[in-house]
Structure 1
Amino acid sequence: MKRVFIVLFLWAFAFGFSQSKLTVINEAKGTPISDATVSCDGKILGKTDPNGFLEFRSKCKSIQISAPNFFKESALVEDEMTVTLINTSSKTQSIETVILEDKSDPKALEILRKVNQFFKSNSPQSLDSYSYKSYEKISLDIDQDSISAFKEVFNDNFNLFKKQKTKDSIDDVSARRIFSKSKLFLWERAQEYLYSQKLGEKVNILDNRISGLKQPIYELISLQGNRDKIPNQIKPENRGLYRFYLTDTIEVDGRKNFVIRFREVSYKKSVKKRKFSGYLYIDIETYGIKKIESISKDKNEGNITSTWVFYNQKWFLDEESVKLRMSRMRMNTTEKPNNDEENRVKKNSFGTYAYLNSKYFDYQSPITENPEDFKGYTFTVKNADGKTLQQYRTEPLSDREKNTYFVIDSLGKKYNVDRKARILTGLINGQIRAGSFDFDIGEVFNYNLYEGFRLGLKGKLNENFNPYFSPDYYFAYGLGDEKFKYGIGLDIKTRLDKNAFFRVEYYDDVNSSGEFYRRLWTFKMRMMNYGNNINNDKYYRYQGVSVSYLNDVTNGLTLAFAARRNTEEAKFDYNFRNSGSKFENFNTLVTLKYSPNSTNIMTPQGKSIVEQKYPELYLNFEQSFKALGGDFNYTRFDALFVQNFKTALGTTGVRLYGGLVLGEAPIWKHFTMNGLASPSRDINFNLTSYLGFATLEGGRFYNDRFVAYYFTHQLPWYFKSIGQNVSSLDFVLRGTIGDMKRPEYHDFRFRKLDHLYQEVGLEWNNFLSSYFNLGVFYRVGFYTTNNFKQNFAFQFKLKLLEF
């Protein structure tokens, strides 16, 4: 749910400190702990009374709590706090020796190895079929223990807020008003999960409501949590991020469990002062995960708990509870001292938290497998206005939660939150929405060696204009060639429950020679390939018309057909078989995309990819005819296969691709080998490309047939460098080989690549804890030269692009 909580930051503000009230509790017994010492940076602030209570003043951001026979704890300072201490029993004391050595208990690691080994067999998806439902509630609010204090401060000092508008922003004052009677954000969702070994998975969104929004955000309501996923603490590649210790065996729900305590390695403390950060409960009989409790280093920062239930000999997720510290809210209040001196100002601060509560219920297995129930995309929205949520709530809404919908919905209408939210979610698909128009952000700015900087605008009328008819246009201008390009088209939908439409278009544009077809590629793939032509100046102009039809046959299979009549002309010095550089071309194109494991959802804007999963297959078959004035009769075929799989040795990604041209065709219908390097630079530095080679010269090599591969292997070793992001290393191997049967047909300067070209590289993911990957590559094999700079290259990639 990480992506979900990003949304909540839109509702968070800045904060401070105040007089605090602390209660210290024995975690095992739930009883108060008296005489517990509370200190800050070695200075004692006080000790708790027989009720475990202490009131103190401090400007410290965090405090330390200690008591005899208990582990020492830290906590962030708030107005009201409850901290639990763990008793140092004989069993846990015996673990201290292991902790001092700063290594995991071998017994605990062996148990975790078996958890991974049996995870698939313990998963519900090892059953023939099943179904269950869920109810989720996500909110942003003040800590529950601080609500009464907040209301008191707010009501007593409301006039002060009015006087301080010069100091405090209007938004800050509004947030204080909201918190006094409601939460700042509330989202409810009910879902139904169906699974069949034969028919796959189906998720029905039974109902949904997000405060402040009139229209649902389909890309958001389709996001999923950790259901059917291996938790991070269990993954073998994360062994270096945690330390694990087997501490006990207990009985939970009538079944015996191992208790494994874990802590993060990243705590900036001496080894002796490090503490556990959670518990794993592992079923002894099946090695299934019963429960995970994760507590932050500072307890007031939050906690996460996930619980599973044993049903039909499998472990189903039963409940999830998350509380994460977001930020602090500071309010200035006046207080008149007993000695009648002038009023003085004190600061009261309240922590704001993101809350998630998920409950799963109505388990059934096996179920009646009706193919009609699994038709369409993976996700289907049954209802999205919140009117049926009462049927699925596991407990009634509180008054505070009921007020949230009223208050935040009013603010959402006032500030047009719907429009702003649609703009943000449109970025997922590479679009910006403005009323009835969708604008493609990928067309705004580009660069290639022929056009130089290319500035453009591509707009499309969306369903607000008409649900079935969608006209579009684009125009662009190259600062290098000083030419305008444009196109106009019309989509005619045949149905609204899936992607199925006819398209007609007219265009006058340029493209790079030897381009690998990218139709049906995802926005992420196309974005990764934007730098493919930075060093390719071999462009051609194409002007003509196209008629096409696209249909999503199933959730994982898309077919597209097109017929095109173009005038094509080389924009570089080129002569094809002494016939010049300008030709007429009539051709048909069939495109197939097969992605059986990817999950999709249908929205009013069209299909949206929820999660891109592998394997994937892309095929293009083009046939040119000497008809309708066409000059050629060639066949062109290309294919791309993508796979990503995990083993005990790490995660391996594979791209296999190739192409073939039969018959006589101009050079731009052949295949350039996707070189990214420039011979004019002292050091090759380029942006990543989905099919490119970092050390290969751009626009120099052409083949009429080729095969290529791209292998990347992420080592199962994660580490932290600077900051909080986790880094890892990838080994990369790329290679290609091909041939050109009739190079004499093409009168211009180029080379065919008929020996194996290879480069090896190492990528540092999250370079220096940034959101970029830095790769270094070196050319090896037949094409290696004596010039180091020609063989060597740096490459930069945005981490969000992933594999």
Structure 2
Amino acid sequence: MKQNLPLFLLFFTSILFAQTKVSGVVKDTFGEPVAFANVIFKDSNEGTITNENGRFYLESDSTHDAIWVSFVGYKLNTFPLSQKVSYNLEVVLEEEVESLGEVVVYSGKTSKKDNPAIVILRKIWENRRQNGVKKFKQYQYDKYEKLEFDLNTIDSSLIKSRIFKGMEFVWEQIDTSNITGNSYLPIFINEAYSKVYGDNLLREEKEILEGNKNSGFENNQTLIAFIKDMYKEYDVYDNYLKFFDKAFTSPLSRTGVDVYNYVLLDSAFRDNKWCYNIVYYPRRKNELTFKGDFWVNDSTWAIKEINLRASKSANLNWVREVYIEQEFEVLNDSIFLITRDYFLSDFSLRKKEKAQGIYGKRTTLFDHYEFDIPKDKSFYKEQIDPYNEDIYMRPDEFWEERRMEKLSRDEKGVYNMLDTLKTIPRFKSLYNIGATLASGYYQVGNIDVGPVFSIFGFNEAEGLRIRLGGRTYFSQNDPWRVEVFGAYGFKDRRFKHGVSAKWLLDRKSRLTIFGGNRKDVEQTGASLTNSNDVLGRNLASSALITVGANDKLTRVNLTAAGLSIDPVKNLQIRLTGTYRTLESATDTFSLKYFDENGGIQSKISQPELDLGLYYSPNRKTSGYGVEQTVINDGDFPTFYVGYTQGLKDVLGGDFNYSRIQGLYFQPWNIGGIGRLYTTVEAGKIFDPVPLGLLSPIPGNQTLFSIYNSFTNLDFYEFVSDTYLSMHMQHNFGGRLFSRIPWLRKLNLREIVGVRAAYGSLSDENIALNQPNGLLLQAPTKGYWEWSVGVGNIFKIFRIDFNFRGNYLDNPDVRRFGVTGEFGFSF
């Protein structure tokens, strides 16, 4: 249960104050903020620059009595400090009158023509593939990564809140961010040390984790992996930088001139290299863009330093701030290598500056570069033990030797603080509540009770339905797991049950055996690709509200056993033997068919052997036990190919038949215009079978928008033995609505979808199924429908308007329908 811990439960530690702290805002004489002004402690080299709103924060371990504030075209302001801690200062800069004639003030849109910044940008484009490690055949380096989460914007009301009763000691010492100027309290820290090897000729890269240290939460690999995936690796030279499932346009992108204004601000030596300083800012609001500046070398056109701050108007939920810094080292006259990458994000339910939130900070350092040391291709393909417990138990001496920057005093306190908090009963209670909301299970000893979100349901066969279940849970790396459920329908007055067990025999190859039994009511007309998941249950079977009568339900008694193995990473081969019986669950739905003697049967008994191949390249998982958690869900393609053989006269089997099926799912980031999801499914049954074994085109009679189903189709409206299905759904992410002034501030997102299916049904199958009294029809003309939708309503709701494309003359068809969906997304 702990493996799905949400961000808002990452609590508490303590920190120490520096000697001198100062924060505030820099304005001109007209009261307008001065962005990118220099703020430096007097007679020192310790300084910072203001953000786009003129705000700054600066601290030092030394005592200072003044700051210098300056910017091109303004007089130097020496601002006295009367105390060690000075917050919310307002510094006013006066224009330098005698130099006004030499100063060019840039505002609004800059010209693409004759702009020296654009000339430099084109040089960067021409040389970007020749910089860094890409200039060598092979490379290797050491990588140190530090992830930290902090509770921020702490005020007296939060400190006095009843929720922290008994935990007041965490507030003893609080610090302030030098990026946002807000107070914060570190609550979680994780450190990782790795060796990275790459070969540009083979196009291979391998990262070997050598050490990992976590502040509490029982070395939770899922939490760590989730956070790392949220802060994905990125390259500022790429056209688009992906964070939080959104594609931000990079200021170095070839399309950057369409969304950014560029200004050549300065030139100077940076580490003995002459560089140009370019400031950039968005041309329009509400787009996924940044503000900031970068320094670029005048001969190699490689980036020396860059900072990026996400536009505050960007269509992004729950994230109030994104700030990135990268620094590059000069290896020789022509090679610039990244040495430091800093990423800060400010999560909050509200974007107001004074609202409480959580900082997420990642610092990645790179060192000990070596080049042109070749390794065999087998080195990159070789699988290593996915979980070595020693990696998570490294002694302090290991970290003292390998940390590339020392922990600050407040960061060191995180480890001690979490150890203390874990002993406090109130903290344990808060932890368990949050974990239950995140995972859907409530832990009682070594048993997880749930999932709590499926306790109640309704359908025409069972009426009101109650379901309770549980599973064993000793740790996220359990080698075996048992899961059970029991359910009762108040209309049919029948008990249902399910039990499933699985055991991981070999961790390296993930050789697993599994088996179980389920006796339940199911809507088998809601999906095309068959599932042998014993405890699986789709939403269509238990939706509380449906469109029309959801009466075409089947009583399923399924027993399954099999094994699976992953011969290579993300490729699974699964062999399953099943035995199931199928019969109608309502009086208004029939599965009757002719048997081989011409008699009429209403129950199907069928054993099957199923061989399936599942391939999901680039999928990332956490956990090393029998069950794993996918941490980049919807971010990788999925391929499935399956072959099923029905066995007649084995265990009383009724039919002998063959079936093949295939599925391909692919999400696509389409640059700055959103995210596209595509699915193609195909299948064929080669022998006559009854309705319960055919392939119904998936209908959707619920009020939910369910991907891979046809919203304006009733269940079993189309049935086939040969089918081809295609689904496309594109989310523009607010790209269009952001152009409409009165809609812009709502941050709504446009969604369009197209769905189509072609199928056929043989004369033999039509004849075999005549006794059921249904007029079986296949979409031989190709059925299609389309939809338009509006997402991000109140940040959590989406509504779709669905239109039927053809077969409009069929009786009682639904030409139009409205569905919705709740969910949390960035």
Please give the range of the TM-score, normalised by the shorter of the 2 chains. Answer: 0.7 to 0.9
Q: In structure 1, what is the Cα distance between the partners aligned to 2:656 and 2:225? A: 49
Q: Would you say the 8 A contact 2:12–2:421 is kept in 1?
A: no
Task: Map 1:187-266; keep pairs closer than 5 Å.
Answer: 187-192=189-194, 193-195=196-198, 200-221=204-225, 223-224=228-229, 225-229=231-235, 230-231=240-241, 232-234=248-250, 243-248=261-266, 252-253=270-271, 257-263=275-281
Q: Would you say the 8 A contact 1:258–1:283 is kept in 2?
A: yes
Question: Which residue, 658, 663, 668 being the options, matches 2:692?
Answer: 668
Find the counterpart in structure 2 of residue 539 from structure 1.
553
Find the counterpart in structure 2 of residue 360 from structure 1.
366
CA deviation string 1:494-550 (max 9, x = no partner): 1234532111212212322344336499x9998899979955432222224321112
Question: Which residue, 640, 643, 657 being the options, matches 1:621?
Answer: 643
1:168–1:215 Cα change, 3 Å = closer
Find the counterpart in structure 2 of residue 174 from structure 1.
169
1:117–1:472 Cα change, 3 Å = farther
1:553–1:634 Cα change, 3 Å = same
Q: Would you say the 8 A contact 2:326–2:340 is kept in 1?
A: yes
Find the counterpart in structure 1 of residue 404 from structure 2.
394
Q: Does 1:634 align with 2:657?
A: yes
Find the counterpart in structure 1 of residue 391 from structure 2.
383
Find the counterpart in structure 1 of residue 58 from structure 2.
none
Q: In structure 2, what is the Cα distance between the partners aligned to 1:524 and 1:285? A: 61
Amino acid at match of 2:712: T
Find the counterpart in structure 2 of residue 136 from structure 1.
145
Q: In structure 1, what is the Cα distance between the partners aligned to 2:553 and 2:256? A: 47
Question: Which residue, 87, 100, 114 being the options, matches 2:108?
Answer: 100
Question: Which residue, 749, 752, 768 being the options, matches 1:731?
Answer: 752
Residue 386 of structure 1 and its aligned partner are, at CA, apart by 5.0
Q: In structure 2, what is the Cα distance between the partners aligned to 1:263 and 1:443? A: 48
Find the counterpart in structure 1 of residue 473 from structure 2.
462
Amino acid at match of 1:213: F
1:432–1:21 Cα change, 3 Å = same
Find the counterpart in structure 2 of residue 796 from structure 1.
820
Find the counterpart in structure 1 of residue 605 from structure 2.
584
1:775–1:221 Cα change, 3 Å = same
Question: Which residue, 773, 779, 782 being the options, matches 1:756?
Answer: 782
1:70–1:457 Cα change, 3 Å = farther
Q: Would you say the 8 A contact 1:766–1:799 is kept in 2?
A: no
Residue 777 of structure 1 and its aligned partner are, at CA, apart by 2.8
Q: Secondary structure at the match of 1:510?
A: strand
Find the counterpart in structure 2 of residue 709 from structure 1.
726
Q: Secondary structure at the match of 1:30?
A: strand
1:478–1:424 Cα change, 3 Å = same
Q: 741-750 or 193-202: which moved more?
A: 193-202
Find the counterpart in structure 1 of residue 618 from structure 2.
597
Find the counterpart in structure 1 of residue 50 from structure 2.
none
Q: In structure 2, what is the Cα distance between the partners aligned to 1:519 and 1:133? A: 44
1:113–1:601 Cα change, 3 Å = farther
Q: Would you say the 8 A contact 1:217–1:425 is kept in 2?
A: no
Task: Map 1:301-320; keep pairs closer than 5 Å.
Answer: 303-309=323-329, 317-320=338-341
Q: In structure 2, what is the Cα distance between the partners aligned to 1:240 and 1:603? A: 46
Find the counterpart in structure 2 of residue 339 from structure 1.
none
Task: Map 1:440-519; keep pairs closer than 5 Å.
Answer: 441=451, 443-446=454-457, 448=459, 450-463=461-474, 467-479=478-490, 481-497=492-508, 499-514=510-525, 515-517=527-529, 519=531
Residue 599 of structure 1 and its aligned partner are, at CA, apart by 2.1
Question: Which residue, 23, 30, 35 being the options, matches 2:40?
Answer: 30
Q: In structure 1, what is the Cα distance between the partners aligned to 2:212 and 2:445? A: 23
Find the counterpart in structure 1 of residue 796 from structure 2.
771
Q: In structure 1, what is the Cα distance between the partners aligned to 2:813 and 2:690? A: 33
1:543–1:528 Cα change, 3 Å = closer
Residue 585 of structure 1 and its aligned partner are, at CA, apart by 1.0
Q: Would you say the 8 A contact 2:480–2:625 is kept in 1?
A: no
CA deviation string 1:74-123 (max 9, x = no partner): xxxx9535789999998995352xx2358888956787688678767768
Amino acid at match of 1:185: I
Residue 711 of structure 1 and its aligned partner are, at CA, apart by 2.1
CA deviation string 1:755-782 (max 9, x = no partner): 1111222333423x513333333222x3
Q: In structure 2, what is the Cα distance between the partners aligned to 1:526 and 1:311? A: 57
Find the counterpart in structure 1 of residue 29 from structure 2.
none
Q: In structure 2, what is the Cα distance between the partners aligned to 1:365 and 1:674? A: 54
Find the counterpart in structure 2 of residue 405 from structure 1.
415
Q: In structure 2, what is the Cα distance between the partners aligned to 1:520 and 1:83? A: 66
Q: Would you say the 8 A contact 2:309–2:323 is kept in 1?
A: yes
1:132–1:729 Cα change, 3 Å = farther
Q: How many residues align?
A: 713
Q: In structure 2, what is the Cα distance between the partners aligned to 1:649 and 1:643? A: 18
Find the counterpart in structure 1 of residue 668 from structure 2.
645
Q: In structure 1, what is the Cα distance between the partners aligned to 2:458 and 2:694? A: 22
Q: Secondary structure at the match of 1:547?
A: strand
Q: Would you say the 8 A contact 1:574–1:748 is kept in 2?
A: no
Q: In structure 1, what is the Cα distance between the partners aligned to 2:524 and 2:101? A: 70
Find the counterpart in structure 2 of residue 293 from structure 1.
307
Q: Would you say the 8 A contact 1:463–1:605 is kept in 2?
A: no
Find the counterpart in structure 2 of residue 60 from structure 1.
none
1:398–1:733 Cα change, 3 Å = closer
Q: Secondary structure at the match of 2:189?
A: strand
1:700–1:492 Cα change, 3 Å = same
Q: In structure 1, what is the Cα distance between the partners aligned to 2:433 and 2:509? A: 23
Q: Secondary structure at the match of 1:632?
A: coil
Q: In structure 2, what is the Cα distance between the partners aligned to 1:246 and 1:529? A: 62
Aligned alpha-carbon RMSD (Å): 5.3
Residue 401 of structure 1 and its aligned partner are, at CA, apart by 3.3
Task: Map 1:337-352; keep pairs closer than 5 Å.
Answer: none
Q: Would you say the 8 A contact 2:109–2:283 is kept in 1?
A: no
Q: In structure 2, what is the Cα distance between the partners aligned to 1:495 and 1:359? A: 35
CA deviation string 1:385-430 (max 9, x = no partner): 3523223212333444333322331112334868976885687776
Amino acid at match of 1:263: Y
Residue 706 of structure 1 and its aligned partner are, at CA, apart by 0.9
Identity of aligned residues (%): 17
CA deviation string 1:217-254 (max 9, x = no partner): 43424614342354335168898875444444555456
Q: In structure 2, what is the Cα distance between the partners aligned to 1:266 and 1:175? A: 42
Q: In structure 2, what is the Cα distance between the partners aligned to 1:445 and 1:114? A: 62
Where does structure 2 lack aligned partners over 5 or more consecutive residues? 15-20, 27-35, 44-63, 78-84, 177-183, 242-247, 313-319, 349-354
Q: In structure 2, what is the Cα distance between the partners aligned to 1:723 and 1:4? A: 34
Q: Does 1:567 align with 2:581?
A: yes
Amino acid at match of 1:208: N
Task: Map 1:316-331; keep pairs closer than 5 Å.
Answer: 317-322=338-343
Q: Secondary structure at the match of 2:565?
A: strand
Give the structure-1-normalised TM-score: 0.73
Q: Secondary structure at the match of 2:631?
A: strand
Q: Secondary structure at the match of 2:412?
A: helix
